[in-house]
Structure 1
């Protein structure tokens, strides 16, 4: 009984970790794109004032 519960707990933690990692990858990718767009806007604005 204890072994079965332990295996169930580990399986649940494993799949939760995978789901969290996949979500974090999408979030980091989106943040990277936003930061890149912000950098481009700053660069373009600086070029206009030279």
Structure 2
């Protein structure tokens, strides 16, 4: 296999992997946001209980 053919296959493979991971990346962002919200809520509950 020539270098240009290997490079073409690598670029196509990377494009397919990127397209497949788009939903996963969005999901990780949503999970992170939910974690932050839950942490802030827990902190507020602890602060309220300490008063």
Relative to the length of structure 1, the TM-score reads 0.69
Partner of residue 13, structure 1: 17
Per-residue CA deviations over 1:5-43 (Å, capped at 9, x if unaligned) read 821x22211113322211100000001111111000000
The whole-number CA distance in structure 1 between the counterparts of 2:30 and 2:47 is: 26
Please, which runs of 5 or more residues in structure 1 have no aligned partner?
none
- Which aligned segments of 4 or more residues in structure 1 are displaced greater than 6 angstroms? none
The whole-number CA distance in structure 2 between the counterparts of 1:12 and 1:19 is: 13
1:42 and 2:42 aligned: no
- What do you get for the CA RMSD once the two structures are aligned? 1.9
Aligned pairs, number: 44
Please, which runs of 5 or more residues in structure 2 have no aligned partner?
none
SS at match of 2:37: helix
